[in-house]
């Protein structure tokens, strides 16, 4: 085997290419963050199907594969699939100087990658509600001066204004507190996940004070977000996804005045198939079939909380 640094560089190139991203900074950031510093000591629990396979050694080279590592296996909390996170980070598009809210930060691996993407002039607020996991995140991220770890819910009012809100826990709706915190041109990337079935990844972009472009870019399954689960809205999302993948979604509207263009109607928000505004650039990893339908990337289940 090659050196750990060479393994990390190839892994970084692989996950960025798998995400369909041409953003060189994304691969560089994955290469700069040692995964072994964030997932705890080995041997590790690797997610396989609905369970875990324990590695035979604690060689950190094993971590530079596109695999999910158990952080708290007893609770199903994992460090998610790197290529899937790379895809989601490409959609979130963190830029130098951005303020990022990372909701469901786990032990901080993807938080550290976000910190590298926004640079010294940016800042990442990491929210983790699980006390022991939050403690580990604070310890792991102590060397990142542009990160603040908050050991509580990312749904608390008075959130900082943010250019990016990256959510790593499944919500049944788009909470108003996140929409309110988005700056102009801010991007919210979250898993919209009903109880009844797998969900979808949704990107919401604030294009004006009251207007939000929206796009579904992948199927997904996620650990549930405490405080962002609602039974009625879960059923609404499940019904919408049972009818279609959501590829026709173009706009998020606030309020309850849904019209005939509604794809999914929640409480004080709804997703429309019609947009009067230009759409944000699409991710090149989303392909079109010969019939013109969208082919969404495969879902990554059991991703990091």
User: Quick one: which of 218, 265, 276 has its CA closest to 240?
Assistant: 265
Do residues 165 and 100 touch, judged by C-beta distance below 8 A?
yes
pLDDT classification of 260: cutoffs 50, 70, 90: very high
Task: Give the model's pLDDT for residue 276.
Answer: 64
φ and ψ of 143, to 5 deg: -90, 0
SS3 for 191-232 is EECCCCCCEEEEEEEECCCCCEEEEEEEEECCCECCCCCCHH
Compute the mean pLDDT over every residue in the chain, rounded to the nearest whole number: 91
Task: Give the model's pLDDT for residue 298.
Answer: 44
Mean pLDDT across 105-129: 98
Q: Indicate the helix (H) or strand (E) that contains 7.
A: helix 4-18
pLDDT classification of 291: cutoffs 50, 70, 90: very low
Do residues 109 and 78 touch, judged by C-beta distance below 8 A?
no
What are the tokens at 2?
A: 């090659």
The yes-or-no verdict on residue 196 having pLDDT over 80 is yes
Task: Give the model's pLDDT for residue 288.
Answer: 34
Q: 3-class DSSP state for residue 64?
A: coil
Mean pLDDT across 149-176: 96
Least confident window among 108-122, 125-139, 290-304:
290-304
Least confident window among 82-86, 131-135, 293-297, 298-302:
293-297
CA 142 from centre of chain: 22
Percent of the chain predicted with pLDDT > 90: 86
Integer CA distances (angstroms), 43 to 22, 55, 69, 266, in order: 34, 5, 10, 43
Residue 302 has, within 13 A of its CA and on its CB side, a CA count of 21
Which pTM does this prediction carry? 0.90
The yes-or-no verdict on residue 289 having pLDDT over 70 is no
The predicted-structure confidence for 166-192, as pLDDT tens digits, reads as follows 999 999 999 999 999 999 999 999 999
CA distance 207 to 216: 17
Do residues 138 and 148 touch, judged by C-beta distance below 8 A?
no
What CATH number should be reported for the domain whose range is 76-295? 3.40.50.150
For 274-278, which contacts have Cβ atoms below 8 Å and span 24 or more sequence positions? 274/250, 275/213, 275/250, 275/251, 277/207, 277/211, 277/213, 277/251, 278/213
If one counts every other C-beta atom within 10 angstroms of the C-beta of residue 245, the result is 16
Task: Give the model's pLDDT for residue 280.
Answer: 53
If one counts every other C-beta atom within 10 angstroms of the C-beta of residue 148, the result is 14
Task: Give the model's pLDDT for residue 71.
Answer: 97
Task: Give the model's pLDDT for residue 21.
Answer: 87
Task: Give the model's pLDDT for residue 302.
Answer: 44
CA distance 297 to 220: 10
pLDDT classification of 305: cutoffs 50, 70, 90: low
Task: Give the model's pLDDT for residue 278.
Answer: 52
DSSP assignment string, 254-275: ESS---TTEEEE-SSEEEES--
Mean pLDDT across 204-219: 95
Q: At what angle do helices 109-118 and 82-92 cross, to 10 degrees?
A: 40
Least confident window among 138-152, 166-180, 238-252, 283-297:
283-297
Mean pLDDT across 196-206: 97
The residue with greater pLDDT, 158 or 97, is 97
Q: Which residues on neighbouring strands pair with residue 206, listed in sequence order?
A: 212
The yes-or-no verdict on residue 116 having pLDDT over 80 is yes
Least confident window among 58-67, 224-233, 284-293:
284-293
CA distance 274 to 213: 10
Q: Where are the domains of the chain?
A: 76-295
């Amino acid at each position: 085997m090659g050196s750990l640094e060479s393994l990390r560089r190839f892994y970084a190139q692989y996950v960025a290419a798998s995400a369909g991203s041409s953003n060189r900074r994304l691969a560089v950031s994955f290469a700069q963050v040692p995964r072994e510093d964030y997932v705890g000591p080995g041997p590790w629990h690797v997610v396989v199907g609905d369970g875990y396979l324990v590695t035979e050694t604690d060689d950190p080279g094993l971590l530079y594969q596109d695999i999910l590592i158990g952080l708290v296996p007893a609770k199903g909390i994992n460090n998610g699939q790197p290529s899937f996170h790379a895809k989601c980070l490409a959609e979130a598009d963190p830029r130098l100087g951005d303020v990022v809210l990372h909701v469901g930060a786990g032990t901080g691996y993807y938080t550290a990658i976000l910190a590298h993407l926004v640079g010294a002039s940016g800042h990442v607020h990491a929210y983790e509600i699980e006390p022991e996991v939050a403690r580990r995140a604070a310890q792991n991220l102590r060397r990142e001066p542009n990160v603040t770890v908050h050991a509580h819910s990312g749904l608390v009012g008075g959130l900082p204004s943010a250019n990016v809100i990256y959510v790593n826990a499944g919500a049944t709706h788009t909470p108003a507190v996140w929409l309110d915190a988005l700056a102009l041109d801010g991007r919210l990337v979250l898993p919209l996940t009903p109880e009844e079935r797998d969900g979808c990844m949704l990107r919401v972009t604030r294009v004006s004070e009251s207007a939000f472009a929206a796009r579904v870019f992948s199927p997904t399954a996620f650990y549930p977000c405490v405080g962002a689960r609602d039974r009625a809205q879960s059923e609404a999302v499940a019904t919408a996804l049972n009818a279609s993948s959501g590829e026709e979604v173009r706009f998020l509207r606030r309020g309850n005045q849904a019209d005939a263009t509604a794809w999914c109607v929640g409480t004080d928000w709804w997703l429309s198939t019609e947009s009067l505004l230009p759409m944000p650039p699409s991710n090149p990893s989303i392909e079109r079939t010969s019939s013109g339908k969208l082919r969404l990337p495969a879902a990554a289940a059991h991703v990091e909380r």
